[in-house]
Copies of this chain bind each other. A is one copy, B any other.
């Protein structure tokens, strides 16, 4: 089948997303005709072993990697870099990465620093990676206790999507991805938000491919206008500063997209408390997101407020003495605003926790 193609403009010359077809078809497109080396999430390789056999001949080196927060570190990448050099990568070799966000981080980082930059292609296999992180060129790598403080901007030249990969995901991972899907539709304005609210009323949709393409279409102008995340692209972090605090306070037991979903509810409630948007809007956002994050509300309700506030202060998007968050005046009307962590945010998060504990 002919894939849907979404081109992304970029200072490095641009890249494109091709969506459609089976996992084998996506892998064959990513393989291309030159010399490639494949970096793949070991779990994805197990689930789709036959597709890999069909797409890559015996001559293509395939390196399975265990994807975890621990392997996403500067030190833990060493054996991956060594394996790639031992596999004989040259400047003309293309690195093909298959997996979720962690594999994407590892591959983007490796492709940046090997031989002064390799071309790479990405086959994202999680909903989160397909609908969001696969475009925008960011990578994040841990250095010891410094979480996500290393990273680069280095876009893949091609991104190949297949919803066949989504079929093998756990429901929790689908919910996590849907958190970001809702975020994009909230950013896009009242009609898009009404539309996603309607789609999610019946539970997780069986066919997610149109929501993936719609999400990428909403994200695209932000990353094209502000490739290096110094301005309008910040708005894509709606829900993320609070979400990050919830992730840290729960020791990363809450999936990213669901922490962001909880973060959006917190941000909307704080916005309503400031009189920026009607209480009604906060209730609508909560109604759409609560079925997704339901299993994690309790964790946030009982998390340490002190740890959350400390995490917000350390967020790399914030400068030393001023704290920025994204609040909202309604769908499509997000604004970056400077807040006082101790006077406004700490009490507001305390209220949010009490509200989560209400029933």
Question: In the complex, what residues of B have CB within 8 A of residue A91's CB?
Answer: 316
Beta-carbon contact of A316 and B151 below 8 Å: no
Beta-carbon contact of A112 and B113 below 8 Å: yes
Beta-carbon contact of B152 and A113 below 8 Å: yes
Q: Does A74 contact B (CB under 8 A)?
A: yes
Q: Which of A293-347 contact B (CB under 8 A)?
A: 316, 319-320
Question: In the complex, what residues of B have CB within 8 A of residue A358's CB?
Answer: none
Interface size on A, residues (CB 8 A): 35
- Look across to chain B and name the residue whose beta carbon is closest to the beta carbon of A150: B113
Which of B78, B90, B138, B151 is close to A113, meaning CB atoms less than 8 Å apart? B151
Beta-carbon contact of A85 and B151 below 8 Å: no
Minimum Cβ distance to chain B for residue A136 (Å): 11
Contact segment of A114-122, A161-169, A249-257? A114-122
Question: In the complex, what residues of B have CB within 8 A of residue A146's CB?
Answer: 82, 85
Q: Does A75 contact B (CB under 8 A)?
A: yes
Beta-carbon contact of B78 and A74 below 8 Å: yes
Q: Does A143 contact B (CB under 8 A)?
A: yes
Question: In the complex, what residues of B have CB within 8 A of residue A74's CB?
Answer: 78, 81
Bound form: Cα–Cα A67–B149 in Å: 25
Bound form: Cα–Cα A75–B143 in Å: 12
Bound form: Cα–Cα A153–B153 in Å: 12
Beta-carbon contact of B153 and A117 below 8 Å: yes
Beta-carbon contact of B320 and A112 below 8 Å: no
Q: Does A11 contact B (CB under 8 A)?
A: yes
22 interchain pairs, CB-CB under 8 A: A78-B144, A81-B143, A81-B150, A82-B143, A82-B144, A85-B143, A85-B146, A90-B316, A92-B319, A112-B152, A113-B113, A113-B141, A113-B150, A113-B151, A114-B149, A115-B149, A115-B150, A116-B139, A116-B153, A116-B228, A116-B229, A117-B228
